[in-house]
């Protein structure tokens, strides 16, 4: 089987599996309801009580101002059923009937509608745990951030905690390596350094809504720009062999095929057509990579073994500046908002759209109660790294939590200082010292 056929088949099987699973659930529900109706027909009062229980015993206001307890019947035929979303669901919190009514008939100049934004959040309330991005909401183009700001603004604030600050001052970009902290991290605890910038190109819809011809145009443009770089090459997914594809994915140099969530948002449409990767070296760990049309139009990635944060950031800065010049020479630019910074499909990846991470060994600290809270109070996020069947490795992907309201240098310095603190605590535990992580986390939170 060819690479293209195998990739399409894999994606189709996943999509079919999701469809069959949902279909089986629906049929089971139908059978259960028929059986219940055969046994006894509940009185109206009992049905009303059940509906109130599902809706959380809340009173809602319909678009015409009518007060009601009936969530499913009085929100309109097109309002999404969010009763399966948990109490902490941001989509359920901010996509109210009033907001839906205000936005449901709006669309951007390129035709993006509210339903395009929320599809990922409502399609898989069971399978996405939690929905990725912010509540599974993705922008269909740059204009979505203004047209649908009534929904997107509170979601952005809920994640970044910086929307008010961003509105008060213009976004600032700082790619000057001279501004980085000079703190040296103990390389014995660091496996990799990896930094990524997400970028979208002006004049094109974003991944959830982009069409086949537009996506191919983005790929042609970026492939052409990559020829301006002195070394390396670009390879479309369509031209890869199965062995080459599997090797790159295994080495974490290439994005995986879309899963059910990516397919539901539209980001996996036409896979793998219009997607590809640039590497400055194919033999070892590349210093610079470019992922095209994986999620956003472009991800620029810089890698290195060990903890050479300064070196990785230097190469990343040079690469993105060079690419921006190549785009400008061809009449294009990155999508950028004066206050929100660089715009992409996910509201997570706005502002700097930077993810700067270190793979850190924290075997003892990572098992301590309060570890996750400590990391969060350091304004970082920690993703456990697992290999094969291991449930706990003691390795964590530690990265900046914020992206909006600060510069790239600010965020990397936070990451350096935070990881330095975590390594120091790990060393104290190795020496046999008893430390209370929860107390330390509280102190860090008060300081920040």
Which residue ranges make up the annotated binding site?
A: 192-196, 355-359, 383-388
Q: Please count the other Cβ atoms lying within 10 Å of the Cβ belonging to residue 216.
A: 16
The three-class DSSP label of residue 302 is strand
Q: What is the CA radius of gyration of the chain?
A: 24
- Cα(246)–Cα(237) distance, rounded to whole angstroms? 11
CB 377 within 8 A of CB 370: no
- Cα(243)–Cα(6) distance, rounded to whole angstroms? 12
- Cα(359)–Cα(356) distance, rounded to whole angstroms? 10
Residues 6+ apart with CB under 8 A from 125: 82, 84, 85, 131
Sequence ranges of the binding site for ATP: 192-196, 355-359, 383-388
- Cα(64)–Cα(285) distance, rounded to whole angstroms? 60
Q: Which helix (H) or strand (E) holds 323?
A: helix 309-329
Minimal CA–CA distance to 323: which of 437, 225, 185?
A: 225
Q: What are phi and psi of 442, to 5 degrees?
A: -65, -40
- Cα(296)–Cα(397) distance, rounded to whole angstroms? 22
The three-class DSSP label of residue 239 is helix
Alpha carbons within 13 A on the beta-carbon side of 441: 16
Q: Where are the alpha helices (DSSP H) in 161-211?
A: 163-168
Tokens of 195: 């930094």
CB 419 within 8 A of CB 358: yes
């Amino acid at each position: 089987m060819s690479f293209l056929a195998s990739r399409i088949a894999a994606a189709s099987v996943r999509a079919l599996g999701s469809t069959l699973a949902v279909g089986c659930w629906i049929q089971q529900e139908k059978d259960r309801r028929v059986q219940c109706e055969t046994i006894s027909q509940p009185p109206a009062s009992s049905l009303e009580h059940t509906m109130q229980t599902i809706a959380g015993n809340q009173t809602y206001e319909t678009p015409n101002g009518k007060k009601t307890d009936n969530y499913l019947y009085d929100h309109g035929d097109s309002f999404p059923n969010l009763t399966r979303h948990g109490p902490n669901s941001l989509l359920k919190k901010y996509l109210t009937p009033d907001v839906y009514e205000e936005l449901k008939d709006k669309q951007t100049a390129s035709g993006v509608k509210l339903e395009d934004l929320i599809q990922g959040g409502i399609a898989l309330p069971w399978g996405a745990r939690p929905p990725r991005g912010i509540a599974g909401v993705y922008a269909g183009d740059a204009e979505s951030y203004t047209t649908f700001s009534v929904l997107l603004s509170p979601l952005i604030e809920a994640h970044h905690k910086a929307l008010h600050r961003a509105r008060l001052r213009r976004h600032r970009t700082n790619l000057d390596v001279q501004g980085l902290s000079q703190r040296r991290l103990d390389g014995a605890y660091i496996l990799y350094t990896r930094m990524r910038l997400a970028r979208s190109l002006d004049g094109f819809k974003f991944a959830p809504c982009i069409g086949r011809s537009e996506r191919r145009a983005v790929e042609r443009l970026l492939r052409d720009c990559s020829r301006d770089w002195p070394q390396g090459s670009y390879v479309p997914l369509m031209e890869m062999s199965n062995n080459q594809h599997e090797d790159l994915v295994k080495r974490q140099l290439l994005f995986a095929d879309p899963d059910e969530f990516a397919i539901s948002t539209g980001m996996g449409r036409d896979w793998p057509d219009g997607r590809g990767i640039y590497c400055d070296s194919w033999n070892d760990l590349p210093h610079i990579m470019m992922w095209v049309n994986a999620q956003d139009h472009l991800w620029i990635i810089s890698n290195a073994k060990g903890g050479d944060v300064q070196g990785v950031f230097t190469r990343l800065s040079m690469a993105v500046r060079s690419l921006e010049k190549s785009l400008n020479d061809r009449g294009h630019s990155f999508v950028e908002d004066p206050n929100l910074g660089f715009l992409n499909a996910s509201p997570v990846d706005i502002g700097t759209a930077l993810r700067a991470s270190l793979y850190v060994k924290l075997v003892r600290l990572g098992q301590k109660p309060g570890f996750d809270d400590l990391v969060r109070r350091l304004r970082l996020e920690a993703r456990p790294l697992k290999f094969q069947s291991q449930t706990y490795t003691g390795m964590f992907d530690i990265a900046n939590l914020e992206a909006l309201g600060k510069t790239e240098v600010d965020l990397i310095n936070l990451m350096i200082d935070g990881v330095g603190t975590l390594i120091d605590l790990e060393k104290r535990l190795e020496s046999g010292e008893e430390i209370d992580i929860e107390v330390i986390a509280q102190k860090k939170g008060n300081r920040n």
